[in-house]
Structure 1
Amino acid sequence: MKAKKSLLLPMAALLSMSAVLAACGGNNNNAASNTGTPAVNSSAAPTNATASNEPDTSKEVKLKMLLVGGKPADYDKVFGELNKKLKERINATVEAEFLDWSDWNQKYPLKFAANEDFDLVYTANWAYYNDQALKGGFLELTEDMLNKYAPQTVKNMPPVSFDQAKVNGKLFMVPNNNVEVNDKVILYREDLRKKYNLPEINSLESYATYLKAIAANEKGMLAYGAKAGDGWKWHEMDQATLEQHNDWNLVDMTLPLAYKMDDASGKIFNIYDTPEFKQLLTYYKDLSDSGVWSKNVVSNKNDVWQDIKAGKVASYAAQNLGTAGSNLAEMRRDNPSLEVAIADITPDKKKIAAISTQNGMAIHATSKNPERSLMLIDLLQNDKEIHDLTMYGISGTNYVPEGDDKYSAGPAAANYTGFSNWGWNSQLNRSDSSYPKEADDIFEKWQSSIYHFPLETFVFDDAKVKTEVASISNVMLRYSIPLEYGLVKDLDKGQADLIKQLKAAGIEKVMTEMQAQVDAFLAQQK
């Protein structure tokens, strides 16, 4: 994960939770709204299949699908119904394995390294897509394959979406067909804002005022749900306060390297070595000293959203507007005594549309049934009956359909949720009838502010600097997290040590390689 020079919040926030919400994306819960992306060369886009190109499904096959997220309680019921339909349509059945959010980040690459036996797999630009595409973990999807085994996908997918998903000119995933917006928002306790007569939250400054007031007055409650998680990646609050606030764009989620979106030259710089970062460290320290987050933030593994529902935490940075809207609707349904609201703390900044690889499905390079796997993806994304079933569960139980494009929660809604069925987001997504109007209003405003820029679809290939990238990640984990959470007493020394260690890890070599790739990418666009 839904695309989007002073005060900033901790850039290491909510790392474990980030994966849970990163994929939800877009508008109206599971349903994201189209915003459009700039056209690129689509000469290699697939064309519609012909009648003589019918696939052979005479042999029954059993497929294995790898998904991220916890296994839903009603998995057996839903996938039992799914397999009945798949047997009729493509003479296949499917079994899913779920990598829990607590450790998916470690287990996911190990599945490929061990060359385990599976056919389909969820992937995304935040979930190892580029990495595994370059390593040979995914099967290349050719034009002929798509035309023959995924004709509905070819018919319905904008060519630009396929182009955005290519790595070194080759396609390795079927991207989602529902463009999202990347910008992050804050979900917070509105009743507490009213209780203390605090100003509207519409900037980093006003959010800081809210956080410190909650920390000072609500004993036993954390003002901000922060968690460093496992490993290092830039996520929710990083993107809200660093990228969005400064109109910067991070090139890679594991590196502190960015460019200004309106810089036509695409000059790469080290975020940590900027005046903006130096200034925000004082802000971090102020929030930390005010007790805004736990001093044990580095080891915190709590589910922040569940802590908010339980009244233990007053706010957090949502992965995207759709997630925040869903959380708001869930709170109104499950615990209406607590009033929550959504705030855009960078309302006047550029808004970014996510590229199509925000969610998608790939085929394992060693799958024994790649053709049938692609046929399954085609159905998941484009067959309404199968899409409804796999996205929302059993009709009347997990969800209640309302017309052709809306739904409401069923009595067992909680038994089928929380995993990466976002991989087949499409135009068939239903919108939650309880989705709050205020979230829709924010999205409508954002649509007029979508900003497109030359490097929008650039993807960094770290093949030549993998050792340095790994070293940099370790440095950020060791030096940056405590610095940003105000756990380092001498801020100037802390920043200097961080920069020194990054140089020793090889960041200048990585910057040189990245700049060369950016320059080549921009030259091709002229």
Structure 2
Amino acid sequence: MRKKSMTKRIMAMILSVIMVLSLAGCSGGGNKNNSDNASTTNQGKSDTGSKDNGSKDSAVDTSKHEVINFLVLGNKPTNGRLEAMLKELNKILTEKVNAELQLTYVEWADWQTQYNVQLLSGDTSLDIITTATDWLYAWENTQKGAFLPLSDDMLKTYAPKTYEQVSADGDWDICKYNGEVYFIPEDHYTQYTNHGMFYRGDWAKEAGLTDGTVSKFEDLTTYFKYIKDNKDGVIPWDAGKNSGDLLGFYIQSHTNYRNLIGVNAGNYAIWSTKPDDATVSAPFMEDDTIYAAADLMKQWNDMGVWREDVLNYDGDSREEFYAGTSGADQHHSQTFYSQVKPNMDTKQAGSDSKMYAFGSENSNIAKDLKTHGAAAISANSKHPERALMVYDLLRNDEQCYRLINYGIEGTDYVITDDGKLGYPEGYDQSTDALGSDYWCGRNDDLELVNSFTWSGRPDMIEGLNKIAYDYEYENLIINKDKIDTEQAAIASVLSEYWPQLAWGKFDNPKEKIDEMRAKVKAAGYDDVKASIQADLDAFKKSQSK
């Protein structure tokens, strides 16, 4: 029924466009050049009250004002800057496509659950949805009917600039399910979101590490021990309960297992293959490295690397890192070079902050997927066409792009004398950030070089490019209907053991790992593994044709 309904919608849309174009006839045609609007060149207006939407010689009826609701991830800012930005942005959107934008936030507390509930709730107020194939369940939500299929005609008509760019890069195929496009990739933006530990190079040097550098996972033990023994009032890593999968990071740094993306058991990314070996396995079930990982976590716990109540603590380790009361923080490379490094250089002058990337010692780091950020249109949207028009402007119009990404010039940012992105005097990213969390349409062509971003960013990215691999299964879609029950049962077992192992809370980790393995086996491990293997085998066969 959904597919038939969608076909009728598309046919109706195409017919309406044809009728409007017929009415416009020879009257719509003068060239219009506006240096402030990269997406409204060479356009005409029809007699129906329509406004430019960014496509050449197009005439789309925008006589009815629409509110476009954009679902984003993150804690909603409370400093008033977002609201001020939206007020200015909506003036432009109203002028160009007679629409305004509002943002709905899925906040970080229990975000995995809340995000999927929001998408599958049938909420007709949602229009644009932030998604991703590696961390925001894009394929799963596509299969469950959360997203609207997007035809070529629909994309060409309502998001022409985006369609042109994605087509030029040949990336529509990575967004297709059963032959139809379901989301738009953020494929024109350079970033690295691999994980790693941020630490202080000055303290690492004092700890005796060569060049003050953590070059392998075990060096962190030396670093943490030095802080515990020598820095009063500092917690080596004042981590919170959601600070990262230490067991997984250890396995990544000591083996060549590569995670299969988008096939989590609950919140646990456990399924893997190895390079040039399309054999599915879960390393914690089939490799002894997990024992060494859990032993080290117990050692760190006993050392006092983190708080005793880490499993209940939800503090902000980054702010504590900035304040000098925590010796470490954990997140992405992008976070390091764009936020942490420059902030530490200012707030902890001389700290020589650095990042140890998990998997760097054995070159087990994946390049970002082009669908690490993506935009979908809700299947329940009342005005998907206008939503695409708004998205096209956010992604391609310089005025709109700067507002949604940077805020209001002079208040949220400034342009330096050398043409770079800068910030007003007294600006503090910790409290003054815009917080729009626009992570699904960034565009290198419109990005400003950030004067705040660490100058070593290009060298860091070049270094990662030399060792990182391309993920080979970007188009692999697992049939989750076959394994949902077993995956849920496995996730339930893991939730009982994994956090306790990851934060070193079991007295006998090996005993608990063996218990966990037995329960995971009983929960249907072999059946899930066989089902994923069958899907992978079919994918490999299709790629070889």
1:94 aligns with 2:91: no
The one-letter amino acid paired with 2:111 is: W
Out of 153, 157, 174, the position equivalent to 1:164 is 174
What is the CA–CA distance in structure 1 between the aligned matches of 2:462 and 2:245, rounded to whole Å? Answer: 21
1:216 alignment counterpart? 229
- Do the aligned partners of residues 240 and 496 (structure 1) sit closer, same or farther apart at CA in structure 2, a change above 3 Å counting? closer
Match in the other structure for 2:438: 421
Change (3 A) 1:160 1:240: farther
Aligned counterpart, 2:156: 147
Q: 1:183–1:239: 8 Å Cα contact kept in structure 2?
A: no
Structure-to-structure mapping, 1:289-304, within 5 angstroms: 289-304=302-317
* Aligned-residue offset at 1:375: 0.8
Q: Contact (CA 8 Å) 1:182, 1:354: kept in 2 or not?
A: yes
User: Counterpart of 1:110?
Assistant: 117
Q: How many residues align?
A: 474
Cα distance in 2, alignment partners of residues 190 and 300 from structure 1: 26
Asked if the contact 1:179–1:355 (Cα under 8 Å) also holds between the matched residues in 2, the reply is no
In 2, Cα distance between equivalents of 1:303 and 1:236: 17
Are 2:145 and 1:133 equivalent residues in the alignment?
A: no
TM-score by length of 2: 0.81
Question: How far did residue 276 of structure 1 move?
Answer: 1.3
Partner of 1:340: 353
Amino acid at match of 2:175: A
CA distance in 2 between counterparts of 1:236 and 1:438 reads 27
1:322 deviates by: 4.2
- Change in Cα spacing, 1:196 to 1:347, as seen in structure 2 (3 Å) is closer
**TM-aligned CA distance change 1:308 to 1:491, over 3 Å:** same
Residue matched to 2:458? 440
CA contact (8 A) 1:165 1:356 kept: no
Q: TM-score, with normalisation over the residues of structure 1?
A: 0.83
Structure 2 residue aligned with 1:451: 469
Deviation at 1:250, TM superposition (A): 1.5
Q: Specify the structure having the higher radius of gyration (Cα).
A: 2
Where 1:356 maps in the other structure, the secondary structure is coil
- Aligned equivalents of 1:372 and 1:223: distance in 2? 50
| Residue deviations 1:376-410 (CA, integer Å, cap 9, x gap) | 11111111111011100011111112479731123
2:77 aligned with 1:63:
no
What secondary structure sits across from 1:362 in the alignment? strand
Percent of aligned positions that are identical: 26
Shift of 1:213: 1.8
CA deviation profile, 1:273-294 (whole Å, cap 9, x unmatched): 3111122222222222211122
Tell me, in whole angstroms, the C-alpha distance in 2 between the residues paired with 1:457 and 1:245. Answer: 27
1:93: how far off?
A: 0.9
1:249 is aligned to 2:258 = yes
CA distance in 1, matches of 2:470, 2:336: 23
Matching of residues 266-345 of structure 1 within 5 Å: 266-336=279-349, 338-344=351-357
Q: Distance in 2 between matches of 1:225 and 1:419?
A: 27
**What is the letter of the counterpart of residue 420 of structure 1?**
D
- Aligned position for 1:79: 86
* Aligned residue runs from structure 1 range 367-382, under 5 A: 367-382=381-396
Per-residue CA deviations over 1:250-291 (Å, capped at 9, x if unaligned) read: 123434533344133343344333111122222222222211
CA–CA distance in structure 2, aligned partners of residues 160 and 488 of structure 1:
50
Which digits, 9 at most, give the CA deviation of each residue in 1:231-254, with x for residues without a partner?
xxx956456433354232212343
**1:309 counterpart SS class:** helix
Change in 2 beyond 3 A, CA 1:281/1:239: closer
SS at match of 2:280: coil
* Counterpart for residue 505 of structure 1: 523
Match of 1:366 among 359, 372, 380: 380
Where 2:239 maps in the other structure, the secondary structure is coil
Asked if 2 retains the 8 angstrom alpha-carbon contact of 1:99 and 1:107, the reply is yes
Check conservation: 1:211, 1:292, Cα contact below 8 A.
yes
1:45 matched to which residue of 2? none
SS in 1 for 2:67: strand
Q: For residues 261 and 403 of structure 1, do their structure 2 counterparts lie closer, same or farther at Cα, with a shift above 3 Å needed?
A: farther
Q: Distance in 2 between matches of 1:55 and 1:300?
A: 52
Which residue does the alignment assign to 1:120?
A: 128
Which of 473, 484, 487 is 2:502 aligned to? 484
CA RMSD of aligned residues (A): 2.5
Q: Which amino acid aligns with 1:521?
A: F
Alpha-carbon separation, structure 2, partners of 1:221 and 1:190 = 16
Tell which deviates more after alignment, 68-77 or 234-243: 234-243
- In structure 2, how many angstroms separate the alpha carbons of the residues matched to 1:264 and 1:194? 40
**Deviation of 1:511 (Å):** 1.0
Conservation of the 8 A alpha-carbon contact between 2:82 and 2:434: no
Partner of 1:397: 411
Runs of 4+ in 1 over 6 A off after TM superposition: none
Gaps (5+ residues) in structure 2?
1-53
Preserved contact between residue 266 and residue 455 of structure 1 (Cα < 8 Å):
no
Alignment partner, residue 30 of structure 2 = none
For the 8 Å contact 2:214–2:356, the answer to whether it is kept is yes
- Inter-CA distance 313–459: structure 2 relative to 1 (3 Å threshold): farther
CA distance, structure 2, for counterparts of residue 259 and residue 103 of structure 1: 25
1:88-128 Cα distance to aligned partner (Å, 9 max, x none): 11111112122222243332222233322221121223123
Cα 1:107–1:405 shift into 2, 3 Å: farther
In structure 2, relative to structure 1, the CA distance for the partners of 1:170 and 1:262 (3 Å cut) is: same
Q: Hey, what does 1:175 align to over in structure 2?
A: 185
Task: Note the C-alpha offset of 1:204.
Answer: 1.1
Deviation sequence 1:267-325 (CA, Å, 0-9, x none): 33443331111222222222222111222121111122112122221112222344454
